[in-house]
Chain A
């Protein structure tokens, strides 16, 4: 169902919403023109399908799954997976391993071994005997090798790559850029609450409500802000939760032990020059715990961190 509404510029901006990459996609195009809107939507769908084919851990036919099955051998890859891997390695480097692309096996062992929608739809909660044992090797990401001539990758035997967070954010950036080009209008693309904007923004900016769960409505507890460019991402330990035995699990892992991070922050929202960079920083903030505020400030990244008591801390010029 499409809801026609009036944007801040006075133009119509009917949001389109659908499911992709295991989450919800929202597309806003700042134009009335049906053909341009349709072109924008097609551009977004193409980008999301491409990233799914390249970088999904849950599709056995994806390029990433092929890499994960390669057992330490070099695997030729396409340019999109090459970009996604380069971004994920960039994330590991700039966060000094707080955002780690080699946590795939840990996620599987914790029960997150399929598309989240399938876990959710089945109401399935893993209940295996024994507790997770934690990681066998630290900083395996330093051993991931990426080549450009031609694009190929090799990861250490036994390591499973998971590009979940960064690939999704990369998809949002690429989709927003492609849609803006196709539609000739300002565009906002939200992929599971990670938001990229491109092209001319509405006069006051794109209006975004930050909260714990992207499935919440705009009246959920949180804060509404305006952005004009780049991206805004939110990471939270209060979503994608499941049980393993008696333990409550979530999807943001501590690379040091491969277990769900025990953070003082339940939700981190960050604005950056791109959605990918915002996503890297919001995930890192959860993992860095006490160092998060200093780290964000050092990078001059506007951020809003909410602790487990619900207290919000603002840093880097995030508005009050």
Chain B
């Protein structure tokens, strides 16, 4: 009986904080597959049997959200100089740079 009691006590200790993080139970990041549904960022809080709080990140995901509207065409500038010359109809003339244009490029 003593052995059983000792075993149960050790098991209890191990389950409830023997590792020094009894009140900081954190679930490691787990992989999500691309097929998972999209959900808003939120956190799920549940109560563990010993009353400690378990906070788990549920990252919003599965997917990245597309824009409300896809980009629309403005004026297409010249092709990249590294691009092979295409035997196609003449490219539209490069538009004059618009002063209200913002540049997106690698940074």
| CB atoms of A224 and B95 under 8 A apart | yes
A79-123, CB < 8 A from B: 86, 89-90, 92-94, 96
CB distance from A295 to the nearest CB of B (A): 8
| CB atoms of B76 and A267 under 8 A apart | no
A23 interface residue (CB < 8 Å to B): yes
Q: Which of B30, B94, B100, B105 contacts A214 (CB 8 A)?
A: B105
Chain A 107-142 interface mask (CB, 8 Å, partner B; 1/0): 000000000000000000000000000000000011
| CB atoms of A6 and B107 under 8 A apart | no
Chain A 291-320 interface mask (CB, 8 Å, partner B; 1/0): 000010011111000101111100011111
CB-CB under 8 A from A228, the residues of chain B are 68-69
CB-CB under 8 A from B67, the residues of chain A are 227, 229-231, 271-273, 302
Given known contacts A234-B104, A267-B105, A280-B64, A302 and B71 CB-to-CB distance under 8 angstroms: yes
CB-CB under 8 A from A204, the residues of chain B are 74
Number of CB contacts from chain A to chain B under 8 A: 255
Given known contacts A93-B31, A224-B95, A301 and B66 CB-to-CB distance under 8 angstroms: yes
A192-238, CB < 8 A from B: 192-195, 202, 204-238
Given known contacts A272-B64, A272-B67, A216 and B105 CB-to-CB distance under 8 angstroms: yes
CB distance from B77 to the nearest CB of A (A): 6
Given known contacts A194-B104, A209-B103, A219 and B55 CB-to-CB distance under 8 angstroms: no
CB distance from A110 to the nearest CB of B (A): 17
| CB atoms of A223 and B104 under 8 A apart | no
Given known contacts A15-B102, A217-B97, A309-B83, A277 and B64 CB-to-CB distance under 8 angstroms: yes
CB distance from B31 to the nearest CB of A (A): 6
| CB atoms of B106 and A3 under 8 A apart | no
Bound form: Cα–Cα A239–B100 in Å: 24
| CB atoms of A207 and B100 under 8 A apart | yes
Bound form: Cα–Cα A219–B98 in Å: 8
Q: Which of A152, A212, A300 contacts B66 (CB 8 A)?
A: A300
Binds B, one of A32-40, A143-151, A176-184: A143-151
Query: A interface vs B, CB < 8 Å?
Result: 3, 5-8, 13, 15, 23-24, 26, 28, 74, 86, 89-90, 92-94, 96, 141-149, 152, 154, 168, 188, 190-195, 202, 204-240, 267, 269, 271-274, 277, 280-281, 295, 298-302, 306, 308-312, 316-320
- Sort A-B residue pairs by CB-CB distance and give the 10 closest, nearest first: A236-B106, A192-B107, A310-B82, A310-B83, A310-B80, A273-B65, A319-B73, A214-B105, A239-B106, A225-B71
